[in-house]
Amino acid sequence: MARLTLFVATISAFAQVQNFKPVTTEMLVNPSPNDWLMYSRTYDAQRYSPLRQINKQNVGQLRLAWTRAMAPGQTESIPLVYNGVMYVIVPGAVIQALDATTGDLL
């Protein structure tokens, strides 16, 4: 399922995201800490981020960075992130590529 989702996101990204580099099997096996390439992040379904910027001391300082309105309908999905681009499935089975820093549609 994760490969299919990534494949669909890859096709969409290839058509619209500038300078897109395809995801390799090695990247799926050993993902960059900055990417979330599968629903559970890794094949062993850790759902754990190795990033260290947020910790017990500063978690209370987190603030909303951006929001993005979506079309009406049920949205219950885990976004995928690759190379600073967030891929989100929106109602109507459309995949949107967003700048993960700003939320701007790419």
Q: How many residues does the chain have?
A: 106
Q: Which of 70, 64, 102 is nearest to 89 (CA)?
A: 70
Give the pLDDT mean for 51-69: 93
Domain count of the fold of the chain? 1
| pLDDT value of residue 90 | 84
Query: DSSP character for 105?
Result: B
Helix (H, G, I), strand (E, B) or coil at 8: helix
Measured CA to CA, the distance from residue 62 to residue 37 in angstroms comes to: 24
Is position 81 within any domain?
yes
| Residue 57: inside a domain | no
Q: Domain for residue 56, yes or no? A: no
User: Is the pTM above the cut of 0.85?
Assistant: no
Question: Which domain covers residue 6, as residue numbers?
Answer: 1-46+72-106
In a domain, 51, yes or no: no
Give 29's DSSP letter: H
Say if 39 falls within a structural domain.
yes
pLDDT, tens digit, for every residue of 7-54? Answer: 555 555 455 667 889 999 999 999 999 999 999 999 999 898 999 999
Paired tokens of 63 = 């603030």
Lowest mean pLDDT among 44-53, 61-70, 87-96: 87-96
Give the C-alpha separation, 11 to 16, whole Å. Answer: 9
CA 42, CA 27: separation in Å to the nearest integer? 10
